[in-house]
Amino acid sequence: MNKKPNLLFFGIDSLRRDHMSLYGYDRLTTPNIDKYVKGGVCFENCFSPHIPTTPGYSNMLTGRDVFGTGVVALGQKAIVEGVPVLAEILRDNGYETTCVGFKNNAAGRGYDNYIEFRGWGPDHDDGRAHKAQNLNDVTIPELERLAKGDKPFFLFMRHMDPHSPYLSPEPFMHMFFQGDAFDPEDKRMQKVYDFKPFGDYIGSWVPKGCTNPDYVIAQYDGSVAYMDSCIQAVLEKLRALDLEEDTLVVFVSDHGETLYDHDCYFDHHGMYEPTLTVPFALVWKNHLPAGVRVKDIMQLKDVTPTLLEIMGIDVQLPFEGRSMLPRVYGEKRTVEPEFYITEDTWMRKHGWRTPEWKLIRSLEPDFHFKPMVELYNLIVDPEENNNVADEYPEVVEVLTKRMNDWIDKRVKETGRPNPIDVNFLMNDRPFASSQEAYDSKYIGGIADAVKLQKN
C-alpha cells in the first residue's frame, strides 16, 4: 500500500455496549460486528463522559476534553476556535472526506461531501423505520466512488437505529420478544407515559396500549440487530472492493442509552452507567493484531489520537486524549481511571467517576426531582440503585474536592470558564425548582426530536 490507509468510520448514535453481544450481552444483537472485530481490537471500557450527542462527538472527533472543546450541550454550534476536527485533519493530510447523516453538528464540519438519509421515523408502508438501509442506499454507492479515487478517503457514517424511536422492520421487531406487550395487569409503562416531558414522545411511537417495558427494550435490541445486519452489507462491499487491507474500520458510539433505568426512560440523559458506556473497536486487516481485547479505562477523547497514530499521521496537536495503540501491543501506558462527567441538555449536572465511586452533583434542580447530590458505589451497587451520599459524606467531600481541583486546573490551563457554568437550561438562569424544570422541558413527537437534533 503506497498511500495512507482509508478510514471507514461507523459512528453509531445511542449504542450502549452492554447491549451488544460483542461485549457479552446474552441476546445476539451484533453477530456481524462480533465476527468482524475478531479480526481486530476491542476496547472493553470506553466511556463517553460528556452527555449527550454534541459534546460526545466533539470529544471523539477532536481528541479534546470538554474544556478543550467548549461544547457541553446539545445544539451548541461551534467548538472552541482553533480546534480542528478529525475531518479537517485528514483533509489537510490529503484525504477525500465524506460524511453521511451528520450535517449541522458542531463536530461535523470539514467534509468535502455531505450526504443525507432519512434516519428517524416511519418511512415505509410497514410503519417501521428503515434507518440503516436508508443509510446503505446512499453509502454503498459513495464507497464505490471513493474507491476509484487516487486519494485515501475518510467515510463517516452516523447510524441512528439505536436512537429512539426504536422501529426496526420485520423480522427484527419480533426477534427478542414473544410475550404479551398489552397485559392490562402490567402497570410498568404507565409511569413512562405519565412523565410529561417525554411521555407523549414515547407514546407517539410505542404501540398504543403497550404496558410492558420489556417489549420496548426488545425493540431497542432489535434495532441494534437490524443495524448490525445492514452494517454487514457495507463490510461486504469493502471486501468486494478489495479494500480491507487498505482500510482502518472503526466502530464507536457518542453515548449509550437508558432504557427502563433510573427514570430516564428510553433516552440518553442522566450520567448513570448505561449512558456513559460505549463501544470502541478497530479492525485493519493484516496491520492491527487480531483477537485483542484491551481492558484499560479510556474515554472518547482518546479516539482521534489513537486513529491518527495507527494511520501514521503526526499532527503535533495538544490533545487532551491519548493514543491507546501502545496498549494494543501490550505496552505500558499510564491509566486514567477517574474522570470528570457532565450532562447539560435535559438536566444540568456534573460529577466525578472512579472505578469504585460515582459522584453526581446537580447544578440546578432537575425535572426528575432527584437529589442534588448522588453517590453510588459501583463495585457494591453496579446498577446504581442506592444513593449513599448521606451515608458516606466523607466520600462526597473527597470526590467533590478532586473534581473541583481538576476543574480549577483546566480553567487555568485554558483561560476559559467551565462550559457548564455558562450554559443554563433556561438560557439565562438556572431553574428555580424541579417543578419549573418539569413544566419547561417537553418533547411532543418524532418531528420535535428531529428538530432538537438539528438545533
Model confidence over 171-227: pLDDT tens digits?
A: 999 999 999 999 999 999 999 999 999 999 999 999 999 999 999 999 999 999 999
Average pLDDT rounded to a whole number, residues 288-307? 98
Phi and psi at 202, nearest 5°, equal -65, -40
250 and 294, same domain (yes or no)? yes
> What's the gap between Cα 291 and its chain centre?
24
Q: In terms of domains, do 276 and 420 share one?
A: no
Residue 335 pLDDT grade (very low, low, confident, very high; cuts 50, 70, 90): confident
Last residue of a domain, one of 328, 354, 381: 328
C-alpha cell at 290: 487480531
User: What CATH number is associated with residue 362?
Assistant: 3.30.1120.10
Q: How far apart are CA 31 and CA 20, in angstroms?
A: 9
- Residue 321, CA distances (Å) to 56, 72, 325 in order: 13, 17, 12
Are 307 and 408 part of one and the same domain? Answer: no
Domain that holds residue 367: 339-454
In a domain, 334, yes or no: no
Average pLDDT over residues 231-241: 98
The pLDDT tens digits for 10-47 are 999 999 999 999 999 999 999 999 999 999 999 999 99
Q: Comparing 450 with 159, which gets the higher pLDDT?
A: 159
Per-residue confidence at 447, pLDDT binned at 50, 70, 90? low
Q: Is position 345 within any domain? A: yes
Mean pLDDT rounded to a whole number for the chain = 95
Q: Pairing relation of β-strands 247-253 and 277-283? A: antiparallel
Sequence-ordered alpha helix ranges (H) in 277-377:
303-310, 325-328
**Contact between 279 and 253 (Cβ < 8 Å):** yes
Kindly report the backbone phi and psi dihedral angles of residue 366, in degrees, each rounded to the nearest multiple of 5, phi listed first. -110, 165
* pLDDT the model gives residue 118: 83
Residue partners of 211: CB distance under 8 A and separation at least 6? 181, 182, 183, 184, 186, 187, 188, 189, 190
pLDDT of 267 > 50? The answer is yes
